């Protein structure tokens, strides 16, 4: 039985490549346990015959958020399988700790609650952000007040009660990038939260550029197969202790089976990201050469996300794809496409949405692991179906590439 409460497996004594860490982090003790695959611990509670000792450990957690190396107590406090995922993700992001939650939005909410509990309810944020993150901040649902700025305006927007600066780079859905090192400098002593969902630690490690907190919707690339919900914040151990207290109090825990799937997903993350990115680059080349497509958005650091503006009706493109899946979310092994203005960013005020680059003709595509020519054939047909007609005739489709 894997009973280590915080699953604090020893880090390697010498640096290892990210691909190696992805496979081995959080699993170093398995051979000593006589295991090869990580165990899945589904217990909600654990026996304890030392009630005094258990009470003292719970008191310590309540006071400091610290987890010792004793046996687990209760699933809302922590779970060994989830702990393995947290250990692995922290190592991939280069942080001391990580704390997992039931979803990416639960993770962001916990960060806001931690800062708000300290009287630091003001947030400085840069658009675009994921639509629900934007809404959570803008609506003040957790008692926060937000000031929206361009990256150059961050320093001037910081107030005595500013508790957090929030950026997403590359951003959802326009793939706009910010200079994380410059932004971190502008933040001064205010923590910078960088949403790294699109890039993953394969492409960038925000903590190395000065970010205090690194947020992931683990539902996306970390899981990688469209079958798990989760969120995680990589951070210092000091901040992690506060996050664990909020998680315990609010109950936004990650289910152990989700933790198991996410740990498994990390092992193939570098391979999946690199393969999907290679296909994305080729699709970007073809889209940029196609007269049926307007502007194409693709980040300098690369990745598997592509956004493009159609000359024709984007809704017709959505309706016409057959191999590509028209669905929300991203980061799966299969390619997904969606219309942000109608779905992921519908909840954002239309004026704010458009001013941040999320236009009505913009489509967001998460490139999967299919063959590039098969994907292009599907896009080619869908783009032709969306072209404006003249006298009832569809304009001939262009096959400028592929």
Q: Is 220 a catalytic residue?
A: yes
Contact 344, 173 (CB under 8 A): yes
Q: Which residues pair with 72 in a beta bridge?
A: none
Q: Is 195 a catalytic residue?
A: yes
What is the distance between the alpha carbons of residues 388 and 390, in angstroms, rounded to a whole number?
7
What is the distance between the alpha carbons of residues 309 and 292, in angstroms, rounded to a whole number?
9
Q: Is 74 a catalytic residue?
A: no
Catalytic residue among 2, 195, 378, 380: 195
Q: What is the CB neighbour count within 10 angstroms for residue 363? A: 24
Catalytic residue among 16, 29, 76, 354: 76
What is the distance between the alpha carbons of residues 293 and 309, in angstroms, rounded to a whole number?
6
What is the distance between the alpha carbons of residues 219 and 267, in angstroms, rounded to a whole number?
15
Instruction: Please report the DSSP string for 200-233 in residue order.
Output: HHHH--GGGGT-SEEEEETTTTTT-SS----EEE
Q: What is the CB neighbour count within 10 angstroms for residue 391? A: 4
From 280, 238, 233, 231, select the one nearest 258 (Cα to Cα). Answer: 231
Distance of CA 237 to the CA centre of its chain: 20
Catalytic residue among 121, 130, 242, 298: 130
Catalytic residue among 220, 241, 272, 361: 220
Cis peptide before 145 (omega within 30 of 0): no
- Residues marked active site are found at 76, 130, 195, 220
């Amino acid at each position: 039985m894997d009973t280590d409460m915080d699953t604090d497996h020893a880090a390697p004594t010498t640096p290892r490549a990210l691909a190696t860490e992805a496979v081995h982090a959080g699993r170093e003790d398995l051979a000593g346990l006589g295991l090869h695959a990580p165990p899945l611990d589904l217990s909600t509670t654990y026996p304890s015959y030392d009630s005094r000792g258990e009470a003292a450990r719970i008191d310590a957690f309540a006071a400091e958020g610290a987890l010792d190396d004793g046996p687990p107590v209760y699933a809302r406090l922590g779970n060994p399988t989830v702990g393995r995922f947290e250990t692995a993700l922290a190592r991939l992001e280069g942080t001391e700790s990580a704390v997992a939650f039931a979803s990416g939005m639960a993770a962001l909410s916990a960060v806001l609650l931690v800062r708000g509990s300290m009287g630091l309810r003001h947030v400085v944020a840069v658009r675009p952000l994921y639509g629900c993150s934007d809404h959570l901040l803008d609506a003040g649902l957790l008692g926060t007040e937000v000031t929206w700025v361009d990256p150059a305006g961050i320093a001037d927007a910081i107030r005595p009660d500013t508790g957090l600066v929030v950026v997403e780079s590359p951003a959802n859905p326009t793939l706009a990038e910010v200079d994380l090192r410059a932004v971190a400098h502008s933040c001064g002593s205010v923590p910078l939260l960088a949403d790294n969902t699109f890039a993953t630690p394969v492409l960038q490690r925000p903590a190395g550029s000065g970010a205090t907190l690194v947020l992931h919707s683990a539902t996306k690339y970390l899981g990688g197969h469209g079958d798990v919900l989760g969120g995680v914040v990589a951070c210092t151990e000091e901040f992690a202790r506060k996050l664990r207290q909020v998680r315990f109090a609010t109950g936004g825990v990650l289910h152990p089976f989700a933790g198991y799937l996410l740990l498994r997903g990390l092992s193939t993350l570098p391979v999946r990201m690199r393969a999907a990115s290679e296909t994305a680059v080729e699709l970007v080349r073809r889209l940029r050469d196609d007269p049926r497509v307007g502007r194409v958005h693709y980040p300098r650091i690369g990745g598997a996300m592509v956004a493009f503006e159609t000359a024709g009706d984007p809704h017709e493109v959505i309706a016409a794809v057959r191999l590509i899946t028209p669905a929300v979310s991203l980061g799966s092994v299969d390619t997904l496409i969606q219309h942000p203005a109608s779905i992921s960013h519908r909840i954002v005020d239309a004026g704010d949405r458009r001013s941040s680059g999320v236009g009505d003709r913009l489509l967001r595509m998460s490139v999967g692991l299919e063959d590039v020519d098969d994907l292009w054939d599907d896009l080619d047909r869908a783009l032709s179906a969306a072209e404006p007609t003249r006298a009832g005739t569809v304009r001939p489709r262009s096959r400028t590439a592929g």
